[in-house]
Chains A and B, each alone.
Chain A
Amino acid sequence: MNGQGKHPPFAERAAGPVLATGIEIFQINLGYRCNLECRHCHVAAGPERRELMSRKLMERCLDILRAHPISTIDITGGAPELHPHFPWFLEECAALGRRLLVRTNGVVLLEEGYGSFLDLYTRLRVEVVVSLPHVDPRITDRQRGEGVHARLIDALRKLNARGYGQPGSGLVLNLVHNPGGAYLPGLQGSLEARYRQVLRDKYGIGFNNLFCITNMPIGRYLAFLKRSGNYEDYMDALVRAFNPLALANVMCRTTLSVGWDGRLYDCDFNQMLGLTVNHGAPEHIERFDGKMLATRRVVTGNHCYGCTAGAGSSCQGEVAC
């Protein structure tokens, strides 16, 4: 039973190539700089990271978005707010009139000099996605750092005060849950109900949706799995929970991930692993080819079991409800 090679190759289990069906989500990673250093961060972001997307590449992203009817712009990092050109970039993205969302760590909005992003997000009606691993402060702090839960509650209150997550405002505040250990997330509906109850009763906080994300066996999380002797069991659990319905809806079929250096990936996880798009599709944004990329064959590996386990997992949460 032991040994890394015992899990069936994902490609075998998928029984055929995973093919993209279009580009509906253009996910842009502005860089790995972050004011936090979370234990579950799959891109290993942190204060010491220096990778940042150049202004030229940001302009290239905008050119591509102008030329292609991609419906969703999804901005991530690191903490996007730490990028010096982010305010300009966000205004330009908003001017395109697409669905625009920013993945923020939340607490950066409380840092001196960054509070103005609360107003900018509100004015541009940006969809805000905040990572809140758990409603139990101990679990959130274990993953994201001491005192982060309390600061997140403060940040969520500020977002609520601007209308985010409030009925009828149209300002969307979504939260992200991921397990605080070597186990899979529970059903999104059940966890969302729990989050809603605790955040409302304990803190008076409202939000729109909870996205449940399975921790991928890569990066810092993989190191934790191996260090704690949980790797084999975790992979067993992922493989056992393989769900063909989740495979049919995996995000890579409709997402293109742009790295800080302009390299193109099927997802953020492949970005962490350095697996650029392949099978003939251009691997850099300078050689962007909408048609080829929209029908590309996705690069897969055994980490892909993370997105096909149970109800599935994506940057938008479950995929096989």
Chain B
Amino acid sequence: MNIIMADYYEQQDLADFANIGEYAPTLGEKYFAYYGEAMQDGVLTAREKSLIALAVATTQKCPYCIDAYTNQCLSLGVAPEEMMEAVHVGAAMTAGVVLAHSTQMRKIIKKKEM
């Protein structure tokens, strides 16, 4: 199992992200142009965007993104407490999303009950 898992999520694969345009270079270029523009200072600062990205990275459980955006947040002077609060926003949202889906469950229960 360990041998199989070693082929996934290798830290050095983060560096390969620059090559995701392989086999579809035009789409890759468009993606990177979009990505770059979405992440730069705009109405929101690059700092604020990095915190959003970190929350998304943890909720989506992407180790590459967690690595990249923890470093990016540090680089932009974000304090550990700010990062952890952002993660809690993601956690709270995720919990809310799960609980909101109980609506479906509760509706079914009520419909089925005699």
Interface size on A, residues (CB 8 A): 20
- Using known A-B contacts A193-B45, A194-B47, determine if residue A186 contacts B15 with beta carbons closer than 8 Å: no
**Could you tell me if B76 and A191 are in contact, using CB atoms closer than 8 angstroms?**
yes
Of A181, A193, A194, A240, the contact of B15 (CB 8 Å cutoff): A240
Instruction: Tell me, yes or no, whether B29 is within 8 Å of chain A by CB.
Output: no
Of B15, B41, B45, B74, the contact of A183 (CB 8 Å cutoff): B74
Q: Tell me whether chain A's interface is mostly helix, strand or loop, or mixed.
A: loop
Q: How far is the CB of A270 from chain B (nearest CB, A)?
A: 26
**Could you tell me if A191 and B41 are in contact, using CB atoms closer than 8 angstroms?**
no
Instruction: Tell me, yes or no, whether B3 is within 8 Å of chain A by CB.
Output: no
Chain A 169-199 per-residue mask, 1 if CB under 8 angstroms from chain B, else 0: 0000000010101011111011101100000
**Could you tell me if A135 and B77 are in contact, using CB atoms closer than 8 angstroms?**
yes
**Could you tell me if A191 and B77 are in contact, using CB atoms closer than 8 angstroms?**
yes
Instruction: Tell me, yes or no, whether B75 is within 8 Å of chain A by CB.
Output: yes
Q: How far is the CA of A124 from the CA of B71 in the complex (A)?
A: 41
**Could you tell me if A190 and B74 are in contact, using CB atoms closer than 8 angstroms?**
no
Interface centre among A179, A183, A185, A190 (most CB of B within 10 A): A190
Instruction: List the A side residues contacting B72 at CB < 8 Å.
Output: 186
Instruction: Tell me, yes or no, whether A91 is within 8 Å of chain B by CB.
Output: no
Q: How far is the CB of B88 from chain A (nearest CB, A)?
A: 20
Q: How far is the CA of A177 from the CA of B45 in the complex (A)?
A: 18
Q: How far is the CB of A241 from chain B (nearest CB, A)?
A: 10
Q: How far is the CA of A234 from the CA of B71 in the complex (A)?
A: 11
**Could you tell me if B75 and A184 are in contact, using CB atoms closer than 8 angstroms?**
yes
**Could you tell me if A183 and B71 are in contact, using CB atoms closer than 8 angstroms?**
yes
Residue of B whose beta carbon sits closest to that of A177: B77
* B1-36, CB < 8 A from A: 12, 15
Instruction: List the A side residues contacting B71 at CB < 8 Å.
Output: 183-184, 237
Q: Beyond A184-B75, A186-B46, A194-B47: 12 further Cβ-contacts under 8 Å?
A: A135-B77, A179-B75, A181-B74, A183-B75, A186-B76, A187-B46, A189-B41, A190-B46, A190-B76, A191-B77, A236-B15, A237-B71
Listed in ascending order, the chain B residues whose CB lies under 8 Å from chain A are 12, 15, 41, 45-47, 71-72, 74-77, 79
